[in-house]
Amino acid sequence: MTMNACTNRMDVAFRNRVIRATGLVVLMLSASVVAKQQVSQDHSPAPSTAPAVGAMTSSQEKADHHPCGKSMHPHADDESSMEACPKPKMDMSSHAMHMQHAEDNPARPPTIGSLPKSDGAAPEPYSAYGVTLHMPSDPLLSKFMLNSLEYVRGDSGSSQAWEVKAWAGHNTNRLWVRTEGARSGGRLEEGDAELLWGHAVSPFWDVMLGARHDLGVGPTRNWAALGIQGLAPYQFDFEGTVYLGPSGRSALRVRTSQEWLFTQRLILEPELELNAYGRGDPRRMYAAGLADTALSLRLRYEFSRKFAPYVGFAWTRKWGGTARMARLEGSPVTDHQLLAGLRIWF
């Protein structure tokens, strides 16, 4: 009987456990069903109600509607139609205007301290140099340059001096005429004239070949001339010419100058010239070796590129045997000169 009682109690306990487990399963299933119903209600479309007149502002309409006229709801079903709608374009007008402004107004180059101050002097038009819009690539051009026509007041008296250069030709080959000299006391003291053919061997240098004829006191002399002229580094104008004459005579003339611009019109030009001879000529008052040097400064003001008055100062010196000849003749070896003149070209 005791065994039967134990068996009955075990059956009752087992049934109670089964009942509890069944109840838990039922509760879990009920909760799952309720949760699914709640989710389906949340995702169901809201009932459409007509808004009151004036209740929706223009900003709300823009926020609730896509530019293509479709709803902007994040869970809209028609995803393909949303993808088919083109994306709105970005307004690049302001950026384009900024870029255009940057192109129209490039950055200014750094200021270079060595450039002269501007005084309103604009570059001359091409027509001032004989260049027109309709002309061949290698035209026939010409130029006349009166580099100096000046009054000279020196230690030994006053005189008038000139220096002229003229050329005609094309870009590569030109015919040159060069002459210079001085007149004092109503007579020509010294001078020379040259007729040269110039050939450009580089953009800045010409080879010169021709003849020279001496003028002034003493017998006339004729020379064959061979030299170069052009623009050396650091903007130095340079002329160097070797002369050969009969009876073994030879000579060398070197001249260099540079322009220093205080403004676009006010220009200071220093110039150095030297003359040397391979053989002396007492009748022309020079000896062999370095004969003389001249250093001058001319300050000019260019009212135009073609017309510029100037004032200046020059220092001249005779050397060696030429200086001894000057002393014997009673002429000064060193001379200090004040200059005033004009510079013209056309």
**Residue pair 116/263 in contact by the 8 Å Cβ criterion:** yes
Percentage of the chain beyond pLDDT 70 is: 64
Q: Give Cα 24 distance to the centre of its chain.
A: 93
Decide if 302 is inside a domain. Answer: yes
Decide if 328 is inside a domain. Answer: yes
Decide if 94 is inside a domain. Answer: no
Residues facing 250 on adjacent strands: 244
Decide if 247 is inside a domain. Answer: yes
Q: How many residues does the chain have?
A: 346
Q: Helix, strand, or coil here: 10?
A: helix
Residue 134 dihedral angles phi and psi, to the nearest 5°: -115, 95
Residue 195's Cβ-count burial label (10 Å; 0-12, 13-18, 19+) is middle
Q: Could you tell me the pLDDT band of residue 4, with boundaries at 50, 70 and 90?
A: low
Task: Give me 241's structure tokens.
Answer: 């010419």
Alpha-carbon gap, residue 314 to 48, rounded angstroms: 106
Decide if 337 is inside a domain. Answer: yes
Tens digit of each residue's pLDDT (9 = 90 or more) over 121-150: 666 666 665 666 666 778 899 999 999 999
Q: How many DSSP H helices and E strands does the chain contain?
A: 5, 13
Q: Helix, strand, or coil here: 186?
A: coil
Q: CATH no. for residue 204?
A: 2.40.160.40
pTM higher than the cut 0.85: no
Q: Considering its fold, how many domains does the chain have in total?
A: 1
Using left for φ > 0, alpha for ψ between -120 and 50, and beta otherwise, residue 250 falls in beta
pLDDT score for 9: 65
Cα–Cα nearest to 197, from 175, 219, 170: 175
pLDDT score for 110: 52
pLDDT score for 203: 93
Decide if 31 is inside a domain. Answer: no
Decide if 92 is inside a domain. Answer: no
HEC string of 25-79 equals HHHHHHHHHHHHHHHHHHCCCCCCCCCCCCCCCHHHHHHHECCCCCECCCCCCCH
Q: Could you tell me the pLDDT band of residue 257, with boundaries at 50, 70 and 90?
A: very high
**Residue pair 318/135 in contact by the 8 Å Cβ criterion:** no
Domain extent for 303: 140-152+159-345
pLDDT score for 112: 52
Per the listing, tokens 């109503």 go with 186
Using left for φ > 0, alpha for ψ between -120 and 50, and beta otherwise, residue 330 falls in left
**Average pLDDT of the segment spanning 12-24:** 70
Decide if 119 is inside a domain. Answer: no
